[in-house]
Amino acid sequence: MFARRAQALSTSEPALALVASAGTLLLCVLASSLLGVYCVLVPLGAVLAYILLRRPVVMTALVVGLAILCEGSSFGLFTFTSNLYTTIYKNLTPLDGLVALTIISIGWDVSRNRREPRLPRVLVVPAIFLALAMVCGAITGSGSGESIKFVLLSENILLYLLLLPLAVANLEIDRRQIKLLLGGAFALAIVKALLGVLEVSSGHGVSIEGSAVLTYYEPAANWLIMGGVLVIFAAIVARVSPA
């Protein structure tokens, strides 16, 4: 039986190689008009995306980590990180694509392992109100003369708030992974705090009325740092270990 399987695999290898080569060539041709010579990196990116799609926990941690670490153009210390938020089509950015891949990865994992989708009760009411708010916003924007496509694409961030909590609720993670994720969140908070100090001390921060300099113009980093500090403070007050 093993010999037969090996023979079948050996006879199918040329066909698989031909299909893979044709697919790689097609990806390069399609991407050449947008990326030029960098189109050769597209097949590598496709393979990497496939690997990440099969690991939803890693994919989620990667996307959240990138969104936390990468600041917009107002962060003068590392301006290249703003490329994550550069518009590539209408109001869509590379971050939108990563979020979409994360949701697809979690949905694929649920389907592949034949798990029942989970919808925590605590998320039902907020999700309903947020969805209704998005509908009202779309109607208002359309009534103001904007196209439906533009209005819908402009609600991308609200769509994160609607879909990501529901998707994360369906992640299959154990206690060890939860501890690693919490530890990573605290580490990111510390890194962001240190980067904020470097931003101010090096004179790259955004000036406010010419007399003060901000660590971060966008509020997400400050919320992350404050959340990490408050959780540690609460653990100390309660006399429990954060781990």
HSE (side-chain half, CA atoms, 13 Å) at 13: 7
Q: Residue 9 — very low, low, confident or very high, per pLDDT cuts 50/70/90?
A: very low
Q: Residue 32 — very low, low, confident or very high, per pLDDT cuts 50/70/90?
A: low
Determine the Cα angle at 116 with ends 46 and 51, to 5°.
15
Which pLDDT value is given to residue 98?
A: 85
Q: Residue 166 — very low, low, confident or very high, per pLDDT cuts 50/70/90?
A: confident
Say what the alpha-carbon torsion angle 90, 80, 161, 193 is, to the nearest 10 degrees: -160
Domain ranges across the chain: 18-46, 119-169
Nearest Cα to Cα of residue 101 among 156, 54, 161, 39: 54
Nearest Cα to Cα of residue 154 among 100, 209, 93: 93
Residue 242 has pLDDT above 60, yes or no: no
How do strand 212-213 and strand 207-208 relate by DSSP bridges? Answer: antiparallel
Q: Residue 215 — very low, low, confident or very high, per pLDDT cuts 50/70/90?
A: confident
Amino acid at 232: I
Give me 70's structure tokens: 């990468």
Contact 75, 82 (CB under 8 A): yes
Residue 3 has pLDDT above 70, yes or no: no
Q: How far is CA 65 from CA 53, 70, 185, 242, in A?
A: 16, 8, 8, 20
pLDDT digits 0-9 by tens, 48-93: 777 888 888 888 888 888 888 888 877 777 778 888 888 777 677 8
What is the model's pTM? 0.69
Which pLDDT value is given to residue 14?
A: 59
Host H or E run for residue 213: strand 212-213
Which pLDDT value is given to residue 7?
A: 47
Residue 154 has pLDDT above 70, yes or no: yes
CA 218 to chain centroid, in Å, comes to: 17
Separation between Cα atoms, residue 215 and residue 226, nearest integer Å: 13
Contact 56, 102 (CB under 8 A): yes
Residue 2 has pLDDT above 60, yes or no: no
**Gyration radius (Cα) of the chain, Å:** 23
Nearest Cα to Cα of residue 110 among 58, 164, 56: 56
Nearest Cα to Cα of residue 83 among 73, 75, 69, 74: 73
